[in-house]
């Protein structure tokens, strides 16, 4: 791994160049509407191994396979339940990953030894153009070094992957900002394994029974057998010691006034949340959509500013807010003060 990493635009020429690299078995930085991904040919175990190496990702954490057309799906999975077809009709292209039984063509390197595979059809135009230019489905985890926040700007990818991959396609900031919603099917039920922009409420419009996996809001032991292996890892961790303060604005301000020291930074919805407190504050957005878009960028800023201690206002836990809470919870190492 010693590449002269090129940061390219997302023009047709750049996409074709990146597609050619993927056909040669290389790994490319790819924009999507959720976060930037590290893309390689999902059907080539040698290419997929390079993703794990570039990220420093544990080998038991499976990769999501990205497709650009519905016809690609049948070649990759042995069964498409009616409910999955309904979800695809409603939410694809878009930030929803469905876990389905894999065909032999998907190597175990991609599925991390599982007999199932997560499939997603992104809506981002550059991602779709890259899949088409490569002519293969693309395995793509988030393009961060394992353990750091997912990248939502090309420069985040560059900072983590410089020298590790040949090129990155820059398509600006990610519209959604948190990784895809991951679901599995259990008969007539949908099980939510990872919350994302497609919310529980959205899923309930196609299926009455949606259950939320315990790992979404609780810590999972490192040696536990879990439905969604990614939930085991701390993930998204800034160097700062982050604590989530769950309560009203009044309670939050009171807690901070009593417990913050000179080093503490308040992570708040609006500047006014921290007004008059004489403490440094960083704003991460006043509604769930904004918070999703900004969260990972703010977590990276905490490191850049060398911040040691953070008291974060607890996001809403409904709609997209559940995804924000799930990611922030991991960034906080599950430290929550309930007021």
Which residues form the interface with Mg ion (CB under 5 A)? Answer: 142
Residue least distant from Mg ion (Cβ): 142
Nearer to ligand AMP, 44 or 246 (CB): 44
CB under 5 to 8 A by kind: which of ligand AMP, Mg ion, none does 182 bind? Answer: ligand AMP
Which of residues 19, 94, 149, 229 is near ligand AMP by CB under 6 A?
229
Q: Compute the distance between CA of residue 170 and CA of residue 130 in angstroms, rounded to an integer.
A: 12
CA distances from 9 to 16, 46, 97, 150, 200 (A): 12, 27, 27, 20, 35
Residue least distant from ligand AMP (Cβ): 230
Which of residues 19, 177, 230, 319 is near ligand AMP by CB under 6 A?
230
Instruction: Give the binding-site size for ligand AMP (rule: CB under 6 A).
Output: 21
Q: Of 19, 225, 57, whose CA–CA distance to 137 is shortest? A: 19
Q: Of 20, 230, 221, 31, whose CA–CA distance to 111 is shortest? A: 230
Q: How far is the CB of 96 from ligand AMP (least distance, A)?
A: 12
> And the tokens for 295?
């969260």
Between 67 and 86, how does the x/- string for binding to ligand AMP read (CB under 6 A)?
--------------------
Nearer to ligand AMP, 211 or 259 (CB): 211
Which of residues 15, 43, 63, 67 is near ligand AMP by CB under 6 A?
63
* Interaction residues for ligand AMP, span 103-162 (CB under 6 A): 111, 114, 116-118, 141-142
10 binds ligand AMP (CB under 6 A): no
64 binds ligand AMP (CB under 6 A): yes
CA distances from 289 to 197, 202, 237, 296, 323 (A): 8, 14, 21, 13, 10
181 binds ligand AMP (CB under 6 A): no
Q: Answer for the pair 64, 139: CB distance below 8 angstroms, yes or no.
A: yes
Span of 1-9, 46-54, 221-229, 262-270 interacting with ligand AMP by CB under 6 A: 221-229
Span of 8-16, 197-205, 224-232, 266-274 interacting with ligand AMP by CB under 6 A: 224-232
At residue 247, φ and ψ (nearest 5 deg) are 175, -175
Q: How far is the CB of 150 from ligand AMP (least distance, A)?
A: 7
Nearer to ligand AMP, 13 or 234 (CB): 234
Which of residues 19, 29, 31, 62 is near ligand AMP by CB under 6 A?
62
Name the residues that contact ligand AMP, by CB under 6 A: 61-64, 99, 111, 114, 116-118, 141-142, 179, 182, 193-194, 227-231
């Amino acid at each position: 791994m010693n590449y002269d990493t090129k940061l390219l635009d997302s023009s047709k020429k750049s996409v074709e160049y990146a597609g050619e690299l993927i056909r040669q078995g290389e790994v490319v930085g790819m924009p999507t509407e959720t976060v930037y991904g590290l893309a390689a040919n999902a059907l080539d175990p040698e290419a997929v191994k390079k993703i794990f190496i570039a990220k420093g990702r544990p080998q038991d954490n499976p990769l999501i396979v990205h497709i650009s057309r519905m016809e690609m799906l049948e070649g990759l999975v042995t069964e498409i339940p009616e409910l999955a077809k309904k979800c695809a009709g409603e939410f694809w292209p878009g930030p929803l990953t469905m876990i389905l039984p894999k065909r032999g063509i998907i190597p175990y390197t991609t599925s991390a030894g599982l007999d199932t595979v997560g499939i997603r059809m992104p809506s981002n135009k550059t991602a779709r153009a890259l899949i088409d230019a490569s002519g293969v489905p693309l395995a793509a985890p988030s393009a961060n070094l394992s353990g750091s926040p997912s990248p939502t700007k090309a420069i985040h990818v560059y900072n983590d992957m410089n020298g590790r991959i040949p090129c990155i396609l820059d398509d600006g900031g990610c519209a959604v900002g948190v990784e895809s919603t991951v679901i599995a099917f259990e008969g007539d039920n949908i099980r939510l394994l990872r919350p994302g922009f497609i919310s529980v409420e959205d899923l309930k419009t196609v299926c009455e029974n949606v259950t939320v996996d315990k790992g979404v809001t609780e810590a999972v032991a490192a040696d536990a057998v879990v439905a969604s292996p990614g939930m085991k890892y701390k993930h998204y961790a800034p160097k700062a010691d982050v604590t989530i303060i769950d309560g009203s604005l009044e309670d939050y301000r009171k807690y901070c006034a009593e417990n913050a020291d000179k080093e503490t930074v308040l992570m708040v919805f609006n500047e006014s949340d921290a007004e008059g407190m004489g403490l440094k504050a960083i704003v991460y957005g006043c509604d769930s959509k904004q918070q999703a878009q900004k969260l990972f960028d703010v977590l990276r800023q905490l490191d850049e500013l060398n911040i040691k201690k953070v008291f974060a206002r607890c996001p809403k836990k409904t709609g997209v807010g559940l995804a924000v809470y799930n990611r922030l919870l991991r960034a906080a190492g599950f430290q929550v003060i309930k007021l």
